[in-house]
Amino acid sequence: MATVGEQTPIVSNHTRDKATKAKVTLENYYSNLVSQHEERENRYRLLEQSMATDGLSEEQKLERRQQHATKETEFLRLKRSRLGVEDFEPIKAIGRGAFGEVRLVQKKDTGHVYAMKILRKADMVEKDQIAHVRAERDILVEADHQWVVKMYYSFQDQQNLYLIMEFLPGGDMMTLLMKKDTLTEEQTQFYISETVLAIDSIHNLGFIHRDIKPDNLLLDAKVGSQLYACMAYLSGIFNILYFEQ
């Protein structure tokens, strides 16, 4: 508390903004820790339920638990591993955006295929989009359901931020509309319904999406004559908490 005669310190907007971002970062960090613990508990609970339904012997249950523990340990090891762009083999560019591009890549040690989103740091700083990109990364990490594309790794170097995400081979809704020209009433109802469910799931996670358009709706693989869609938002995602501050 300032005494008589003392001036109250003036805090600049820049300092306030940095403090708010730091607070949001810490809250997201501890929220993620809680979520990860709950997810582990849920996976173990589902394992026990599955074994009870399958009627396994105690010896078989023990073996399943050991296998589960090994997978959880490997998962944690992968999360802690320090990756770099050199760990991935580029295949081709599959998209471009305001801050960089998206490439189809293959992880060298496993052969798994991912979508690598490359964001130029200088452009994000210049356009004051750092908090928005962080919010996008946070939701990709927090979300674990059919409506949001999964993110497996993230890392950075001096020039770029890299997000290693699930690759959905069906393209996006804009490409589908350009190819089909006109959708049937049944197809339209299907995609609109999935979009509404996707937006609702984003809101339930505490995020808002301010750039909903066909380009940002990704589709999974084609099944028969109909595309079964997983609507996955890759841009325009913002943390409600950040704006409330």
* Whole-number Cα distances in Å, 64 to 68, 124, 150, 232: 6, 46, 26, 33
Q: Which residue in 157, 172, 211, 215 is the catalytic one? A: 211
List, as residue ranges, the binding site for ATP.
Answer: 117
Q: What is the DSSP string of the chain?
A: -PPTTPPPPPPPHHHHHHHHHHHHHHHHHHHHHHHHHHHHHHHHHHHHHHHHHHT--HHHHHHHHHHHHHHHHHHHHHHH----GGGEEEEEEEEE-SSEEEEEEEETTT--EEEEEEEEHHHHHHTT-HHHHHHHHHHHHH--STTS--EEEEEE-SSEEEEEE---TT-BHHHHHHHHSS--HHHHHHHHHHHHHHHHHHHHTTEEES--SGGG-B---EETTEEPP-----SSEEEHHHHH-
Whether 211 is a known active-site residue: answer yes
Annotated binding residues: 117
User: Could you list the active site residues?
Assistant: 211
